[in-house]
Amino acid sequence: MDRNTQLVGQSSSFLDAVERASRAAPLDRPVLVIGERGTGKELIAERLHHLSSRWDGPLVTMNCAALPETLIEAELFGHEAGSFTGASKSRVGRFEEADGGTLFLDELATLSMAAQERLLRAVEYGEVTRIGASKPLTVDVRIVAATNEHLPRLADEGRFRADLLDRLSFEVVTLPPLRNRSSDIPILADHFGRRMGLELDWESWPGFSAGAMNRLLEYRWPGNVRELRNVVERAVYRWGDAAAPIDRIQFDPFESPWRPLPAPAPAAGGAEPPAGAVEILPPDAALPAPQWDPAACADFRLAVAEYEKAILAAALEKCRWNQRQAATALALTYDQLRHAMKRHQLMA
């Protein structure tokens, strides 16, 4: 978890979620934190731990999606030496590491059904059994779990245990996405910008120009607060002028005129494209150069029509007058191509 990040915001939806977490923190019960990526689920887990009576105990984090299914149970519950190939010595699991504290399970919905069954027993009875062991161990652990999935729907579909969901959902804290708390965007941008300015040893904070702030407010933020932080910090360090308000924002760090083009999709079965197959013409494809002859064509609309006819003729020639292939090459439907050919008297 990023210990340098704070819960920042003043919108009512955000404050309601923080207040719900704060009220649940002193109770020794499981809590589910629901939210899209980048909304701050890890920070809510930290708050739940530090405001609880377990604040001086360990806060152990496990990302359930970061491990292959075959290793998740060993990581959660530990294993004895020789219990499986590669287990040369005993190892404690995350439950034992978190004894007396809080275990934060991120991406909970990715747990296998077998791991969910063992997790249910650990939550229900406070007992875990290492893989390869015969006796259970008693642990005192509070579970905080997070996901961006709709767990009740997964339970209805049989992809998540309903009894485990019942046990974990004593309290559910749902974090609003950033697009629904737009009043927090200027506050968060100023917070992250000032921190980046301090990191760059700026003597003063110039803030953002009105135009830059409007662009931040209009953006949809699919990555939420995490994405906003990256965009703001990138804008500050690239600006390089502590005396002028920041006016340049780049949302996509991969944006470049030299960005690699996607490889053409292979044909079905991985085979080479059949002979005569035609790809959709890319935007920069070589097209017939418009021929402008004032003496022969002084009308603008007629000149455009002649250029369109030349493009159609070139595509048809390339495809050996296979109309369906020509339509694909020009990203047209077959009917659109036929209509254009008829309009330009190119019908055979």
pLDDT tens by residue, 170-204: 999 999 999 999 999 999 999 999 999 999 999 99
Q: Measured between alpha carbons, how far is 304 from 31 in angstroms, rounded to an integer?
A: 65
From the candidate CATH numbers 1.10.10, 1.10.3470, 1.10.260, 3.90.550, the one assigned to the domain spanning 281-343: 1.10.10
Q: Measured between alpha carbons, how far is 214 from 222 in angstroms, rounded to an integer?
A: 17
pLDDT at 23: 97
Buried b (16+ CB within 10 A) or exposed e, 206-227: bbbeeebbebbeebebebbbbb
DSSP code string of 304-330: HHHHHHHHHHHHHHHTTT-HHHHHHHT
Q: Nearest CA to 40 among 272, 242, 229? A: 229
Pick from 84-88, 134-138, 286-290, 329-333: least confident: 286-290
Q: What is the value of pTM for the model shown?
A: 0.72
pLDDT at 292: 55
Confirm if 341 and 335 have CB atoms less than 8 A apart. no
Q: Measured between alpha carbons, how far is 111 from 116 in angstroms, rounded to an integer?
A: 6
Confirm if 181 and 224 have CB atoms less than 8 A apart. no
Both tokens of 21, joined, read 């977490």
Q: What is the CATH number of domain 180-239?
A: 1.10.8.60
Higher local confidence (pLDDT), 51 or 6: 51
**Which residues fall within 8 angstroms of residue 203, CB to CB, at 6 or more apart?**
242
- Compute CA distances 276 → 84, 189, 316, 338, whole Å: 55, 54, 12, 20
Q: Measured between alpha carbons, how far is 23 from 20 in angstroms, rounded to an integer?
A: 5
Q: What is the pLDDT of residues 263-319, one digit of tens each?
A: 666 655 555 555 444 455 554 455 565 555 555 555 677 777 888 888 888 888 887
Q: Please check the confidence at residue 1 and state whether its pLDDT lies above 50.
A: no
Residues of the chain with CATH 3.40.50.300: 12-79+91-176
Residues of the chain with CATH 1.10.8.60: 180-239
Query: Residue 177: what residue type?
Result: P
Band (99; pLDDT cuts 50, 70, 90): very high
Block residue for tokens 């210990």: 3
Residues of the chain with CATH 1.10.10: 281-343
Buried b (16+ CB within 10 A) or exposed e, 254-271: eeeeeeeeeeeeeeeeee
Higher local confidence (pLDDT), 271 or 133: 133
From the candidate CATH numbers 3.40.50.300, 3.50.50.60, 3.40.50.2020, 1.10.10.10, the one assigned to the domain spanning 12-79+91-176: 3.40.50.300
Q: Say what percent of the chain tops pLDDT 70.
A: 86
Strand partners, 104: 61, 144
Question: Cα-atom radius of gyration of the chain, to the nearest Å?
Answer: 30
**Which residues fall within 8 angstroms of residue 268, CB to CB, at 6 or more apart?**
none
Q: Measured between alpha carbons, how far is 171 from 22 in angstroms, rounded to an integer?
A: 11
